[in-house]
């Protein structure tokens, strides 16, 4: 939903549990790829920056399970 209107295809999500990361594949995002596209996005750098700026609400129990909570004073 975040890139609605910008991509023309499906979105695939791949979980990388050992890195605590996600990899997203946005089909149709650059009109055929960075070397074929007339869009000014340098191989998806702007898309990745937009994803990095997303604020995601994570339930406290899930954050604790994932080891994401810091010690509280």
What are the residue ranges spanned by the domains of the chain?
Answer: 11-65
Are 13 and 21 in contact by the 8 Å Cβ rule? The answer is no
pLDDT (tens, 9 = 90+) of the chain, 73 residues, equals 677 777 888 889 999 988 888 888 888 777 666 666 555 556 567 777 878 888 888 899 988 887 777 755 4
Are 2 and 50 in contact by the 8 Å Cβ rule? The answer is yes
Residues β-bridged to residue 12: 25
**Cα–Cα distance, 30 to 46 (Å, whole number):** 11
| pTM beyond 0.95 | no
């Amino acid at each position: 939903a975040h890139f609605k209107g910008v991509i023309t295809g499906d979105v695939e999500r791949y979980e990388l549990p050992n890195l605590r990361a996600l990899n997203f594949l946005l089909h149709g995002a650059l009109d055929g790829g960075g070397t074929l596209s007339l869009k000014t996005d340098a191989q998806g750098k702007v898309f990745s920056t937009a994803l990095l700026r997303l604020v995601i609400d994570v339930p406290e129990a899930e954050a604790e399970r994932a080891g994401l909570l810091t010690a509280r004073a």
